[in-house]
Amino acid sequence: MTLYGIPNCSTVKKARAWLAANGIEMPFHDFKKHGVSAELLQAWLRQAGWEKLLNRQGTTWRQLSDEARAAVGDEASALRLMLEKPSVIKRPVLELDGRITVGFDEPRYQSLFGK
């Protein structure tokens, strides 16, 4: 059970606040500081798919050159980009009982935690 993300991300802040408000202690992994392994990303990609895991709405994606964005068209290219720039991973990633949830959705969290 771990919450992955970047602490200054507004969506991560919402997820962490919800967890705290519901008395749920959760280890937090800052993947901008501590990185994310290729093995972990591949496991996430198998569960969620690269298109769901790749954050095309964020600042990091928008700051990429047109050529760099155009080069991301499959799982392998998305994986390379996520390893190079972890902040392009959609956040937060909640790992619970071997399954992941990408992004924060309060009803989904309520269902996951029985709240």
- List the one residue out of 57, 52, 44, 51 whose CA is nearest residue 9: 57
The residue annotated as part of the active site, out of 6, 9, 15, 78, is: 9
**9 noted as active-site residue:** yes
Sheet holding 2-5, edge to edge: 28-30, 2-5, 93-96, 99-102
Catalytic center residues: 9
